[in-house]
Structure 1
């Protein structure tokens, strides 16, 4: 028996679940789990279905589902295949180290195939855990050349997703377009508050009582892409900037790993600038 995950999004209408389950039954697929959500405001339907069965005719199954759904439906059939990821870093190690340790012990849910850094600072920890490290300096070239070199490495590695694990460079719209919907960032703030640089300094100066972190997809708008996960922690007047940064790093690791787990298990739909997450 093989496992299959089916992701469907389409305009909402009566009878969708019946049509979908009838097609799956005709292909002798057993539904192990099925979650649905209807966005009433936009009249949109989303479902994630986990199935088991013989998968010899994937293309036929996809065509049959499309025949029984609205014409603008999107159907994605995902077989058991581990995602391949590339990590982009600068100098901070905490998020990278957490990912690499899980990768080492096969608990990440994906395979790290390379790390790209614009400093040499994280080469040692990366290579000690058996992952190739690619250094591309941003000091001796213009931004377009810098990004082109990164793109070439990513395409050679054939990555499914890019993870910005504290990669402190703003990516151009041209770069993002190469990997639309495939770039995940961890932002050290509870977005939409404190966008951009030095959010802990911003939070300290504002006297906040809650700090947080946000994992989101990267779009052309800085720190405004669809949010995947967020977490917060309560603080008080005893926290200076250093204490806030220290506490924030623990939140950042958790938020990023939670988001990656959801993505690697194909539990996230992007709808406009929002996400639908089937946990």
Structure 2
């Protein structure tokens, strides 16, 4: 018996759930878990269904297409570990957390490589028997540096690329290589404090909460579809350094939770938003 996830995104219409589950039943598939959501203002229907049984994927998808509204987005995907390449700069807390969780089985990701524009995190990465690739940005323009990184990343054929505090803005050419596959952790509760030095921005505004946001990367800086967010309380006595120190725990927690949601096929992107099942 196999287990797969059926994801459907289409125009809303009466009777969709009955029709979809009827096709699955006709294929002898057992519904293990089912979730759906309707965006009423947009007239959009979303459904995530975990199925178990013996699959004929092509025939199943063809029969679903015949009963769904036109211009739908329908896919049948396997559950299980996904191949991840992580990009880093100097900070260890997010990559350290991902390595530990991957090693222990708490995260269904196989970290196949780590790529850094500094070599400071090589020793940490290699403790987990994960290859570390140091690709310095010195004496390279942005395009040359990204091409060097892409050559390494593509050699691992990752399903997702994770920016674990990778502190360089990626160009549209790089982003276009991995549509809805690059996940970034930003150290603020977006849309507040976009860009550099968000903890200093937060301190200057005297905020009473700080947070972190995991989102898909697009060509608009820190404005891609949001996957997961969280916050903690702070007060007037915190310095910029103390805000940053407290924020690290939120950052690593939000990133790993977001990544697990994506790996479990629990996130559907539409427009600049997500449906998270």
Which of the five TM-score ranges fits, normalised by the shorter chain?
Answer: over 0.9
- 1:151 paired with 2:150, answer yes
Q: Which residue of 1 aligns with 2:54?
A: 54
The separation in 1 between residues aligned to 2:53 and 2:179, in whole angstroms, is 32
Runs of 4+ off more than 2 Å: none
1:80–1:210 Cα change, 3 Å: closer
TM-score with structure 1 length normalisation? 0.98
**Equivalence for 1:11:** 11
Output the CA distance in 1 between the equivalents of 2:7 and 2:262. 12
TM superposition shift of 1:80: 3.2
How far the C-alpha of 1:63 sits from its partner, in A, is 1.1
Q: Secondary structure at the match of 2:268?
A: strand
Give 1:1-279 correspondences, 5 Å limit: 1-55=1-55, 57-278=56-277
Shift of 1:81: 3.8
Q: Distance in 1 between matches of 2:106 and 2:210?
A: 28
Paired residue total? 277
Shift of 1:175: 0.7
Provide Cα deviations, 1:205-230, integer angstroms capped at 9, x if missing partner: 11111111000000000000001111
Cα shift readout 1:149-188 (whole Å, capped 9, x = no counterpart) = 1111111100000000000000001110111100000000
Give yes or no for contact 2:8–2:46 (8 Å, CA) kept in 1.
Answer: yes
5+ residue gaps, structure 1, are none
Partners of 1:106 and 1:191 in 2: how far apart?
Answer: 30
Q: 2:80, 2:264 within 8 Å by CA — same for their partners in 1? A: no
| Displacement of 1:92 | 0.2
State the distance in 2 between where 1:65 and 1:79 align: 18
Range moving further from structure 2, 92-101 or 151-160: 151-160
SS in 1 for 2:59: helix
Q: Render the CA deviation track for 1:71-92: whole Å, top value 9, x for unaligned.
A: 2111110123421000000000
> TM-score normalized by structure 2?
0.98
Does the CA-based 8 Å contact 2:136-2:145 persist in structure 1? Answer: yes
Bigger Cα displacement from structure 2, 79-88 vs 95-104:
79-88
